[in-house]
Amino acid sequence: MLNVKAPLPMVETAFMASTTAMLFLINYYFPIGPLFRMFFPTPIALVFLRWGYRSAWKCLIVAVVLLTLLMGPTRSIQFLIPHAFVGIFLGYAWKRGLPWLVTIAIGSVINSLGVFFQAALISLLVQENIWLYFLSQITQLLTNIGQFFNVWEPPSLLAVKTFAVASIFCGNFFYQCLIHVGAWLLLERLDTPMPPPPLWLQDLLAE
């Protein structure tokens, strides 16, 4: 007897890979804030939850190949690190029922490392140190804040680097919160369970 469900993992994996690639492609040419970015890792995580790690890695590979063909290797690497790896991690963590605080914290670290990697990659491509430019902007910001409070000493290099790293991590922390909320609302409608948010957040979203 023919098993009708046998092709489902392959079909869903291919569909999710193309969906992931299209989300990244559309967001690159028509950026509309976090609406698309918050779903970058979700299709890969969904495949992990439904069909396991093998299908999730196949989804990742196919999405990267599609983006390489459509946008070139540089853009596909920027998707791979960190968004695709975040999708693999979230699928693994959600399948094991890890709480949101843990997955958001670890996901924020992965995203932050991806920011540093992308800065290094762009610096290599344009032959300019993007990190130094970012630090100079942070220095100017801290100087302006200090002058507002009548502090005329320039900020130390350690303070600038600490503020820069903290700002990157905080930004990715809120980004991970958006990813989790968007994924929870979506996966709940697809009958694919993931760990529920804290009770206070459930009450907030229910209002």
- Amino acid 205: pLDDT: 66
For the segment 119-143, the average pLDDT, to the nearest whole number, is: 90
What mean pLDDT is predicted for residues 163-175? 95
CA pair distance 36, 8, nearest whole angstrom:
26
Distance of CA 59 to the CA centre of its chain: 16
Mean pLDDT within 126-152 = 86
List, as one string, the DSSP characters of 129-192. -HHHHHHHHHHHHHHHHHHHTT--SPPPHHHHHHHHHHHHHHHHHHHHHHHHHHHHHHHHHTT-
Confidence (pLDDT) at 71: 94
pLDDT value of residue 29: 87
pLDDT recorded at residue 45: 96
Percent of the chain with pLDDT strictly greater than 90 = 65
pLDDT of residue 39: 93
Mean pLDDT of the chain: 89
What pLDDT sits at residue 41?
A: 95
Q: Give pLDDT, residue 96.
A: 95
- Return the percentage of the chain with pLDDT > 70, whole number: 95
CA distance 108 to 170: 8
Determine the pLDDT at residue 2: 42
